[in-house]
Amino acid sequence: MADGPVLAQLHFGREDAERDVTEGLLLRGGFLPNAAYRGALSGRKMLIIGRKGSGKSAICMQLMAADGARAHNGGQILVTPDEAAGEEIRRFELQGLPGDSAKALIWRYVFAVHAARHIVTHAKGTHGGGHKLDSVKALGRFLKQNGESVDGGQGSGGGWLGERLARGARGLQTSLSLEAFGVKASVDLAQSPSEGARAAQQLGIVEQGVAGAFADLGCDGNVHPPLLLMVDQLEQVWSAEPDSNSMVIGLLLAAKHATSRYGRSVRFLLFLRADIYDSLSFGEGDKFHGDELRIGWTEKALRDLALARARASAGAALSEEYLWKVLFPETVGGEDTATYLFRRCLPRPRDAIQFLNACQETAWLENGRDRITEADVEQAGRQFSAWKLKDLSSEYLVAHPFLKNLFPLFQNTGYVVTRAALAGRFETAAESFRNDFPAYAHALTLSGVIDVLYGVGFLGVRRGSGVVFAGADDSPVQPHETEFHIHACFRAALGATSPFDLRPYEPLLAHARIVSGNFNPETPGFTARNRDDRLLQQLGRSCHSILAQVGRAVTLTPDVGDEIRRQINRVLDDVNRIPPGAASSMDVNVDEYLLGAAHYFGALAAQLLAGGLDDTTGVGAVAHRMEDEARGLRRAAGGSFGSSGNSSGR
């Protein structure tokens, strides 16, 4: 490990892959090969799909870097459209072709030109005299005649991609220079029935020339791996408009066509954000399922990533035990620290990296420590939660611009939310939502809002004994499902840190008097069982009765059950602090004490019943038990000296 405090050296890298390559840890052991990377490297999958921050661009950067290039051992081209290029593709039209098909042609042109440029340089550098082949020379002439010479390099950097797309679009809409292939466009294509048909014929000639050159060079995947052509960051030029969807559909159709046209000479990898891909609807969509690979992250995978990045920054000798038991506290809030951290992230590397770095910076930079404490993690967690709530609305600003306006429905309440409770909250604001976002009125219904909040990962749905979030289960929210949980990532920012909006029990005077020492029974060891003692014993039995009912409610949401137990145990702890025979000397009015507890049980029962939890969870039985005990305590407080007060039917 490096000299100086290990915590000072600890860093988990940059959140974006582009900076992580140049100034981070991606190429210094901080990349964790996962199923998506292996699928991309093997050639078995063409579509790598994942949420923002899930590691799509990291795979691109790894494949483009030296290690990835050696692993692939073939040419790599990465296309990342800028706004100018995206605008050219979005507005590209051809008379006689629907929008999706027209966009597919412009993408096919992009692929053909990139492949042709690769062949011209590849033939000279790898195949010796291959550049002298007629088919290769023809490609060189075609590129020069159409302003696509290889001088600008193989990437899409700068503004040249947009400029060249503009020229290519004009060529497809009018005529490309095809003399290099022995075709006089103005004569040989004059009989084309439409603009779209003529463009398709021209492009077919170019693709035939590219495929012929690959064949003449023997680049069929046997001598060396195929050219790897990747498209990433399409979300930078996408909007939730029909022409943007056509741009993405056209990309898919073009890649499918080019794969069959170039065979094993070229392989395509398209990195698409999940919300964009899932929003598409087109006739050939079912043909792409076998090409899909969705990026998923488990807690174990995130732990492995954290350790890999910790070692890349602080030294390879850093052990997992040292990371999680020395640099980080062993537990936070009684929970294993790694589990605590990753349960409060959306399951993707970007979130994990941000949270881990926030913990390190809070401890080292802000608080000047050489170890991260539980308090540092909790402080960083509050900041991280605020970031993520803001980031979620930004991530889905295009598709769901109203998302930010839904968050107040969940502020300062419990993180377990029922359909009934949400319906009541939503109804009060529904008209305002629809007035502010009239174009999205179809989505601004109760079921529509639940679907959106589940789809973006804000809400999970209770299924059986567990809570499922989008990504872990492909099933949408069903109409009969009534219980939802705010993701732990967002709870601190919303002030929704307890499972249910239950009024906390406020201890009465007993605890304060005992702590202060203002308690002195008249007779030491006094244990007489007078009326006060019997009433206090009954309150204790009432607490145990409620706790037993909670235990019998086996289908009750665990978090809600834990919260009820916590509050009832506070009542029990409070009454147990009054020693036998000491109530009068402690100035405790036992009748008022019981009535106060009875009132609390009644209020708690009302909150549970009003919360809308399905009675199949057992919450109704728990609430009714509280009501029964409250009635019994009221009767006991008003009864005679000899009454046990135990007439509640227990």
Nearest C-alpha neighbor of 277 from the set 442, 42, 48: 48
Q: Which run of H or of E encompasses 78?
A: strand 76-79
Confidence check: pLDDT of 529 > 70: no
Mean pLDDT in the chain?
84
Confidence check: pLDDT of 275 > 90: no
The confidence score (pLDDT) of residue 162 equals 74
- The pLDDT of 113-140, averaged and rounded, is 83
Residue, of 168 and 29, whose pLDDT is higher: 168
The confidence score (pLDDT) of residue 643 equals 40
Confidence check: pLDDT of 641 > 90: no
- The pLDDT of 544-559, averaged and rounded, is 88
- The pLDDT of 132-149, averaged and rounded, is 88
pLDDT band at 637 (very low <50, low <70, confident <90, very high): confident
The answer to whether the beta carbons of residues 585 and 511 sit under 8 Å apart is: no
pLDDT band at 18 (very low <50, low <70, confident <90, very high): low
Three-state DSSP state, 322: helix
Q: What share of the chain is helix, strand, coil (3-state, %, to 5)?
A: 60, 5, 35
The answer to whether the beta carbons of residues 488 and 344 sit under 8 Å apart is: yes
Confidence check: pLDDT of 571 > 50: yes
Q: Could you tell me what percent of the chain has a pLDDT over 90?
A: 42
How far apart, in whole angstroms, are the C-alpha atoms of residue 75 and residue 115?
Answer: 10
Nearest C-alpha neighbor of 361 from the set 2, 3, 7, 609: 7
Tokens of 121: 């340089």
Q: Side chain identity at 73, as an amino acid letter?
A: N
- The pLDDT of 635-644, averaged and rounded, is 58
Question: Strand 459-463 to strand 483-486: parallel, antiparallel, or no bridges (unpaired)?
Answer: antiparallel
Four-residue CA torsion sign, 464, 469, 470, 473: negative
Four-residue CA torsion sign, 587, 590, 593, 597: positive
Residue, of 133 and 16, whose pLDDT is higher: 133
How far apart, in whole angstroms, are the C-alpha atoms of residue 76 and residue 239?
Answer: 28
How far apart, in whole angstroms, are the C-alpha atoms of residue 91 and residue 447?
Answer: 35
Q: Side chain identity at 177, as an amino acid letter?
A: S
Q: What is the pLDDT of residues 365-402, one digit of tens each?
A: 999 999 999 999 999 999 999 999 999 999 998 889 99
Residue, of 154 and 196, whose pLDDT is higher: 196
Find the radius of gyration of the CA atoms of the chain.
33
Q: Could you tell me what percent of the chain has a pLDDT over 70?
A: 85
Q: Side chain identity at 45, as an amino acid letter?
A: K
Other beta carbons less than 10 A from residue 263's beta carbon: 15
How far apart, in whole angstroms, are the C-alpha atoms of residue 452 and residue 393?
Answer: 12
The confidence score (pLDDT) of residue 130 equals 65
Confidence check: pLDDT of 268 > 90: yes
Ramachandran angles phi, psi of 372, nearest 5°? -85, 130
Confidence check: pLDDT of 361 > 80: yes
The confidence score (pLDDT) of residue 300 equals 93
- The pLDDT of 543-547, averaged and rounded, is 94
Four-residue CA torsion sign, 510, 515, 520, 526: positive
Q: Which run of H or of E encompasses 50?
A: strand 47-50
CA atoms within 13 A on the CB side of 129: 2
How far apart, in whole angstroms, are the C-alpha atoms of residue 58 and residue 15?
Answer: 10
Confidence check: pLDDT of 35 > 60: yes
pLDDT band at 151 (very low <50, low <70, confident <90, very high): low
pLDDT band at 644 (very low <50, low <70, confident <90, very high): very low
Residue, of 128 and 343, whose pLDDT is higher: 343
The answer to whether the beta carbons of residues 382 and 492 sit under 8 Å apart is: yes
CA atoms within 13 A on the CB side of 102: 23
Q: How far apart are the first and last CA of the chain?
A: 65
pLDDT band at 645 (very low <50, low <70, confident <90, very high): very low
The confidence score (pLDDT) of residue 485 equals 95
User: Any idea how long the chain is?
Assistant: 650
The confidence score (pLDDT) of residue 150 equals 67
Instruction: Identify the DSSP state of 3.
Output: S
pLDDT band at 131 (very low <50, low <70, confident <90, very high): low
Rounded to a whole number, what is the largest CA-CA distance in the chain? 119
How far apart, in whole angstroms, are the C-alpha atoms of residue 484 and residue 460?
Answer: 5
Ramachandran angles phi, psi of 291, nearest 5°? -90, -10
The confidence score (pLDDT) of residue 450 equals 96
Other beta carbons less than 10 A from residue 33's beta carbon: 12
- The pLDDT of 45-71, averaged and rounded, is 79
Q: Classify residue 562 as exposed, middle or buried by CB count within 10 Å of its CB (0-12, 13-18, 19+).
A: middle
How far apart, in whole angstroms, are the C-alpha atoms of residue 254 and residue 106?
Answer: 8
Name which of 202-211, 532-541, 610-619, 636-645 the model is least confident about. Answer: 636-645
Q: Side chain identity at 52, as an amino acid letter?
A: K
Name which of 49-58, 439-448, 497-506, 629-638 the model is least confident about. Answer: 497-506
